[in-house]
Structures are given as C-alpha cells and as structure tokens.
Amino acid sequence: MPKSTKKELPKFPWPEVEVGDWAGEFAQRPSGSIGQHIQPGPPEMSVEFTYLIVGAVVISPRTKMRWPAVVSFWVRTPLTPQRVEAGFMFKSENMPSFNLGLEVTRQQFTEMVWLFSQKLLNNFYFNVGHGAENHWPVKSWGASFQL
C-alpha cells in the first residue's frame, strides 16, 4: 500500500503585531446565536449567551497592512471573568488572519443588531495594547454608521 502523502501545512511567518490604533471594515452581514444553558455546579446556574460573528478586514496602524479577520461581539454574563480590557485580539494558527473578540453591553448588542440588519455598520476602529503569548488586549473600540 502507498504511504500517506499527507503534508503538514507550512507555518505562516507573522510580522510583529503593531500596538496602536487599528481600523477595520466589516466584510459581510454577521451571524449570531442566542440561548440559555445550565452551567454545572454546585450550585447549577441558568446562564444566557448572546453573540454575533462577522468577517472583516483589519488594517494595522503603521504599515497599513490589510489582514482578514473574524470579529465577535459578546454580551457579558454574570459568569464572565472580570477584565479591564474592552476585548482581545489573537492570531489564527494556520492562516494569516486575526480573531478579534469585543465585549458589548446588552443595550449595545440590541443597537448593533438593528444597525447591522439595516446595513448601516461598515467601518470600525480599535486600539491594541502590548500583549503576550498570542493575546493582545483591546483598550477601546468603536464603529461608525450613517443614517
């Protein structure tokens, strides 16, 4: 029998992640999930979850390099660990893209769903701080729209 010809994908040589003010453009309409589940205990707790995921392009501050990205918007729950950051960014493992997780309030989430449904959200921005071990804190973020 022939030997397996399965080859390991080459690792992409990443440049250093630039700290500072990044820009972004949403590439499509988001998809999302909403629900509730029982968190094991003791004591068991009923926990809700709500999030949106959308493809995007993010643009680094100095080199203006454009990277594909996946942006997720998460509503904080009582079990969410307390953090000071507004979100986080990390590199994908086998492809040259970023993942950006941004925390939102319930009110922001409601407004964002409406803005996305009306195709009014296109551009966004975020500030990346110094990170370590493939995790960079997002200090602030925002999005623009026109009515």
Look at 3-7, 37-41, 72-76 and tell me which has the smallest mean pLDDT: 3-7
Residue type, 126: F
Average pLDDT of the residues in 88-114: 88
Q: What is the pLDDT of residues 83-94, one digit of tens each?
A: 677 888 888 877
Number of domains forming the structure of the chain: 1
pLDDT of residue 56: 95
Closest CA to 80 of 53, 128, 54, 47: 47
Look at 49-53, 73-77, 82-86, 105-109 and tell me which has the smallest mean pLDDT: 82-86
pLDDT of residue 78: 63
- The domain of 111 spans 21-145
pTM recorded for the entire structure: 0.81
Q: Is residue 133 part of a domain?
A: yes
Q: How much of the chain, in percent, has pLDDT values that exceed 70?
A: 85
Q: Is residue 86 part of a domain?
A: yes
Q: Is residue 1 part of a domain?
A: no
Q: Is residue 80 part of a domain?
A: yes
